[in-house]
């Protein structure tokens, strides 16, 4: 299981696989198609309630 740590020194959390994670395939799909940008996962009471994706398009100067 992957471990995630916090920048504030909190204990690492372990992501457990379960059928109750319908957001995980969505996040994988967003990450596969993202070249520049970010994916933000919002959690309330230890439950993922929202996934935001911001894509940036880099323009080259002529």
Range of the domain at 9: 3-55
Residue 57 structure tokens: 């398009």
**Quick check: is 62 in a domain?**
no
Total domains in the fold of the chain: 1
Phi/psi at 26 (5° precision): -65, -45
Distance CA 40, CA 4 (A): 15
**Quick check: is 35 in a domain?**
yes
**Quick check: is 51 in a domain?**
yes
Whole-prediction pTM = 0.61
**Quick check: is 61 in a domain?**
no
Task: Give the gyration radius of the chain's Cα atoms.
Answer: 15
In the prediction, which pLDDT does 30 show? 94
The answer on pLDDT for 61 being more than 90 is no
**Quick check: is 30 in a domain?**
yes
Contacts of residue 15, defined as CB under 8 A and 6 or more positions apart, other chains included, come to 1, 2, 3, 4
Contact assessment for residue 13 and residue 3, using Cβ atoms and an 8 Å cutoff:
yes
**Quick check: is 33 in a domain?**
yes
Query: Mean pLDDT across the stretch 25-38?
Result: 93
**Quick check: is 50 in a domain?**
yes
**Quick check: is 49 in a domain?**
yes
């Amino acid at each position: 299981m992957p471990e995630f740590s916090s920048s504030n020194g909190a204990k690492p959390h372990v992501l457990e696989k379960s059928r109750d994670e319908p957001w995980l395939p969505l996040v994988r799909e967003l990450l596969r198609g993202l070249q520049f940008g970010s994916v933000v996962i919002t959690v309330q009471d230890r439950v993922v309630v929202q996934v935001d994706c911001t894509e940036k398009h880099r323009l080259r100067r002529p």
